[in-house]
Every structure is written in C-alpha cells, then in structure tokens.
Amino acid sequence: MGSEPDQHAAALAAQTSTPAFHRALKAAVQAGLPQGVQLTAANYARSSASSYWLLRWSSAAMPPIWLTLRIATHPHWLTQVQQVEVVRPALPNLTGLSAAVRQALASPAAAAARYQFTPLELAVLRQLLVLADHKLVWLVQMTPAIAASHKGRSFDLQNDFRRLPLFLGDRNNVNNLLVPVSAPAFQDKLIDFFGANLLFSQFSSHYMLKLLPTIQWLKPMLAADARIVHWPPQLAAAYGKNFMTTVAQTIHRADHNTP
C-alpha cells in the first residue's frame, strides 16, 4: 500500500488526466491569453497535474517568437528554466486560472522568457527529429545526488546540468547502445531546449536521464519558420567533423543492430 502523499498524487493525476479536464483546462488557458498570443500546442505530465503550453506571438516578424507556459500544483524541480510558471495548488479546481495566466504573461519574467531560434538552433532541432526516427536519444548521466532525489529536491539547470556526461543511445534500451559524446557547446543547446520543454526527461538505468524531443511541439515550430535548414553542414561547422562522424556512426549502428 502506498503512502498518503503517493495516494494523493495518484488521485490528482487521475482527476487531471481525463479528456474532459484537458478540454476545460485548455479553455481556461485560452481565455487568459492576451491579444496577439496563440496557443500552438500542449502536453501533459502522466504522473502529475503538470501541463505545458507552447505559445506563439502572432506577428509577421521572423523568426517567430515563442513562450513556454507551465501550469502545475508545485514549482518545477529545476530552477533557471526558460518557462513562465503558474502554480495552482487547488487543481483540478480551475477557478481563477484564466486571470492567473493573464497576469503571468504580462509580467517582466514572461517578456524575458520568450525565445526565438537562431539558424544553428533550427539545425539542432532538425537533428533531434532525425535521431528520433532512428530510435536514438540524447542522454546525460546524473550525479548520484540528482538521481537519488528523483525530483524530490530542486536543482539548478544551469549549474547542475551543463557539464554532466553526454551520451547518444538507444531510446528504448540504453544497454543495447550507449555512446559517449564530448560536445560542450552542443550540450549547452540541449540544456537550453530542456529548460523550455522542447525536450522532456525520462529517468533510465545507470543514472541516465533521457532528453526526449517534444515532437508535437517541434514539428509546428519548424513548420512556422520559413528559413531553410541544412542541418548536417551547419552542425559540422559549429561542432566539428568528429561530432558528426560519431553521430553518423551511431545511427548506422542503431539501424543495423550492431553493438
């Protein structure tokens, strides 16, 4: 039998995971959006009441301007993430949520959290989708302290995650394929994307944290950007031929089931 907090969390997750609640939550969020802001996509945590909303400023200016909105009963387990957060302990009660969203999006923090992609960042996003097609994922190896807490305490995304060992591995079983990769500047991009919910985390064995692409966000974001992306030469120029060779060899091994 689970503890009382575990039982409460499970009950809350059940209440907030129904299609009816998602529809009501979406309506409340949309009612709180200021003029000129569009809801592009959303995703929902499976084991909690947390939800993430991809917002776009409807402007003819390019590149598009984006913002990540998080709504949850508790603060994020990582600090210094590039998100606007609305904490609502009363969920699934949605009373007052629209007003809270409107207030949060009008704050200086919201203005600072908006982001636009550079051409290099678009190339990294393209690579993430290609790797997903080959069932590959980027991973970082957490320290024992981070792994043991399992979101039980707060960590600083900028200071605690930037220099964790980076790997490229099998999305479904890291024991099948796991390749170390040294590319600090590339890893910085991954951590930035993780902080904006463009990658989401999944704990694995050996203290590994999978950084899985939020595909239902990346596809509309790339579709909305008219700039041409040739990701292999762009990434080779930025991160070196050795980096690209390692990625290509790992794709080959994944496709041919070679250890």
* pLDDT the model gives residue 220: 96
Task: Pick the closest to residue 254 from 202, 183, 176, 181 (CA basis).
Answer: 176
Q: Name the region of 45 (left: φ>0; alpha: ψ -120 to 50; beta: rest).
A: beta
Decide: 58 and 31 in contact? Cβ < 8 Å: no
**pLDDT value for 171:** 94
Question: What pLDDT score does 130 carry?
Answer: 97
Distance between CA 26 and CA 20 in Å, rounded? 10
Distance CA 41, CA 120 (A): 23
* 195 token code pair: 């902080």
pLDDT computed for residue 1 by the predictor: 45
What whole-number distance in Å separates Cα of residue 108 and Cα of residue 111?
5
92 token code pair: 């699934």
Tokens of 76: 């994020």
pLDDT recorded at residue 132: 97
Contact at 8 Å (CB) between 243 and 235? yes
Taking only the tens of pLDDT, the chain with its 259 residues reads 455 555 666 777 778 889 999 999 999 999 999 999 999 999 998 777 899 999 999 777 678 999 999 999 988 888 888 999 999 999 999 999 999 999 999 999 999 999 999 999 999 999 999 999 999 999 999 888 777 765 566 778 888 888 899 999 999 999 899 999 999 999 999 999 999 999 998 888 778 999 999 999 999 999 999 899 999 999 999 999 999 999 999 999 999 876 6
- The count of other CB atoms within 10 Å of the CB of residue 127 is 21
Confidence at residue 80, expressed as pLDDT on a 0 to 100 scale: 84
